[in-house]
Amino acid sequence: AKFKIYNLLEPYLKDGVVNMRFLNFKITVLGEVNAPGNVRLSNKRVTLLEAIGMAGDLSDYANRTNVLVIREQAGSRQYARLDLQSADIFSSPYFYLQQNDVVYVEPIKARVATVADPAQRIIGYASAGLSIVTLIIALRR
């Protein structure tokens, strides 16, 4: 497309330059990031680390050793798990994201256990309540 536009404009411009950008280049970043959602870019060449940065960086509960990238190619989905703490990430074919890629940052197991265990929430509320009652009793004496 770039050369087609250049050839059309060549008779009218002297030493013209044609630059094209993708205005609808979109990736989705989900999971344990501070601002999950769609990221729209004008640059076709974006890395996984840049995309995470645009999503507000990783949260405190992000599993940095198991980030999932989902890519659809030729009608089939491909999945890759990447370790952000490994130098091997830079040689991965999934390091540079493509149009409509989905990045999912999983939570660490401690976060999953905390959310999944309602007893921990009850214990937290009960201990806070008992602390208040103890404080009131101590102040009245």
Beta strand pairing status for 62-73 and 102-107?
A: antiparallel
11: confidence class by pLDDT, cuts 50, 70, 90: confident
Q: What is the mean pLDDT of the chain?
A: 85
Least confident of 20-24, 47-51, 88-92, 101-105: 20-24
115: pLDDT strictly greater than 60: no
44/92 same-domain check: yes
Chain segment 58-114, per-residue pLDDT in tens:
998 999 999 999 999 888 999 999 999 999 999 999 999 998 899 999 998 876 555
Residue 117 is assigned to a structural domain of this protein: yes
Using CA atoms in the order 35, 36, 39, 45, what is the torsion angle rounded to 10 degrees?
100
Cα–Cα distance measured from residue 114 to residue 98, given in angstroms and rounded to the nearest whole number: 34
CA-based nearest residue to 106, from 26, 27, 33, 28: 33
Cα–Cα distance measured from residue 48 to residue 56, given in angstroms and rounded to the nearest whole number: 13
28/96 same-domain check: yes
Q: How many domains would you assign to the chain? A: 2
Looking from the CA of 111 toward its CB, the CA atoms found within 13 Å total 11
Question: What integer pLDDT is reported at residue 117 of this predicted model?
Answer: 62
Residue 101 is assigned to a structural domain of this protein: yes
What kind and span of H or E run contains 17?
A: none
122/103 same-domain check: no
Name the residue range of residue 103's domain: 23-107
Question: What integer pLDDT is reported at residue 116 of this predicted model?
Answer: 57
> What's the CATH code of the domain at 51?
3.10.560.10
